[in-house]
C-alpha cells in the first residue's frame, strides 16, 4: 500500500527529497499534486481539517504515482501513531517532541512488541493490504518506516542532543515558526536568536547521524537548506499554491480588464 522503501532508502542514500503539504484534503487536488513531480506529500492532520479516513482517501488518490505519503499526526499519542501506521504510510511526523523520553515514546509506538507498544492488527489493516501481505509487512514495517520528530520548542532545543541520540528516530524536523514563537519572536523565523537555536538543532542531528528536515523561511530558501546539509524540504502547500496562483491569475485578469476600459 505505502511506498515506504522508496522514500527512506532515497534519504539514507543521500538524496535530497522535496515535498508539499496537504491541508485541503481534496482527493482531486492531492491526485494532481502527486503527479506533479514531488517526492512526497505531507498529509497534515495537525493543522489541517482532515481525519484518518481523509488521510486514507488522500493516499488512495496518490496510488497511481511514485509520490510517497507521509502523515503528520496532531500530537505525540500512541493511539494516533497506531491508527496512522495501520492506514499504511511511508513515514510519520510527530510534532513538538521535547525530550528523549517523548522521542522514545514515538519510536515505541511505531514498533510491535517486544520492541515497542504498537497494537497488533496486521491481519486486517490497510498497511498490510488488509491482511494479504502480513508476513512481509511484519518483517519490514519497522525498518522501512520513516520516523520524524519535530523540534520546535525552546525546551526541545535544550534537549536536542538527547532527542537526536534516541534509537529509532530517523529525522529531526525543524519547525522555525513555532520555534520563533516559543523564543519570543512570533513571526520572525530568521531572527538571529532563532537562527542560533536552529544551528544547535542542525549540529545535534549531524553529530548523531540523523536526517534533517525543515521548511523554507523568508531569508532561507530551499536551496539554502539543501546547501546547509538538509535532506528533506517541504517547500510548498496545496493552500499556498492555490492562493498564489489564484492571486496572480486574478491580477492578470484585472489588468486586462483595465486596459479594455482605457
What contacts 8, CB < 8 A, 6 or more positions away?
90, 91, 144, 145, 146, 170
Phi, psi for 151 (deg, rounded to 5): -110, 110
CA-CA distance, 183 to 178, in Å (whole number)? Answer: 9
DSSP code string of 244-255: HHHHHHHHHHHH
CA-CA distance, 254 to 103, in Å (whole number)? Answer: 51
CA distance readout (Å), 121 to 96, 126, 127, 213, 228? 28, 10, 10, 31, 41
Contact (CB, 8 A) for 57 and 69: no
Q: Which residues pair with 21 in a beta bridge?
A: 42, 237
CA-CA distance, 7 to 18, in Å (whole number)? Answer: 10
| Residues known to be catalytic | 47
In the block, which residue shows the cell 491580477?
251
What distance lies between CA 100 and its chain's CA centroid? 20
CB atoms within 10 A of CB 134: 16
- Looking at residue 127, the DSSP 8-state letter turns out to be G
Amino acid at each position: 500500500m505505502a511506498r515506504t522503501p522508496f522514500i527512506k532508502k532515497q534519504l539514507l542514500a543521500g538524496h535530497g527529497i522535496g515535498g508539499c503539504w496537504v491541508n485541503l484534503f481534496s482527493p482531486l487536488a492531492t491526485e494532481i499534486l502527486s503527479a506533479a513531480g514531488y517526492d512526497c506529500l505531507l498529509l497534515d492532520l495537525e493543522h489541517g481539517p482532515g481525519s484518518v479516513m481523509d488521510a486514507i482517501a488522500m493516499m488512495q488518490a496518490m496510488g497511481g504515482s511514485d509520490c510517497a505519503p507521509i502523515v503528520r499526526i496532531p500530537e505525540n499519542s500512541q493511539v494516533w501513531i497506531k491508527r496512522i501506521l495501520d492506514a499504511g504510510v511511508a513515514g510519520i511526523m510527530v510534532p513538538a517532541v521535547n525530550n528523549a523520553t517523548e522521542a522514545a515514546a514515538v519510536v515505541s509506538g511505531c514498533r510491535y512488541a517486544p520492541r515497542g507498544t504498537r497494537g497488533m492488527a496486521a491481519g486486517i489493516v490497510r498497511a498490510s493490504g488488509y491482511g494479504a501481505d502480513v508476513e512481509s509487512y511484519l518483517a519490514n514495517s519497522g525498518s522501512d518506516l520513516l520516523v520524524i520528530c519535530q523540534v520546535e520548542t525552546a525546551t526541545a532545543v535544550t534537549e536536542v542532543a538527547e532527542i537526536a541520540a534516541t534509537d529509532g528516530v530517523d529525522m529531526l524536523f525543524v519547525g522555525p515558526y513555532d520555534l520563533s514563537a516559543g523564543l519570543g519572536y512570533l513571526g520572525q523565523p530568521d531572527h538571529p536568536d532563532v537562527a542560533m537555536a536552529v544551528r544547535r538543532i542542525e549540529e545535534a542531528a549531524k553529530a548523531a547521524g540523523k536526517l534533517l528536515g525543515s521548511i523554507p523561511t523568508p531569508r532561507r530558501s530551499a536551496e539554502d537548506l539543501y546547501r546547509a546539509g538538509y535532506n528533506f524540504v517541504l517547500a510548498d502547500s496545496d493552500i499556498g499554491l492555490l492562493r498564489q496562483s489564484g492571486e496572480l491569475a486574478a491580477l492578470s485578469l484585472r489588468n486586462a480588464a483595465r486596459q479594455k476600459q482605457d
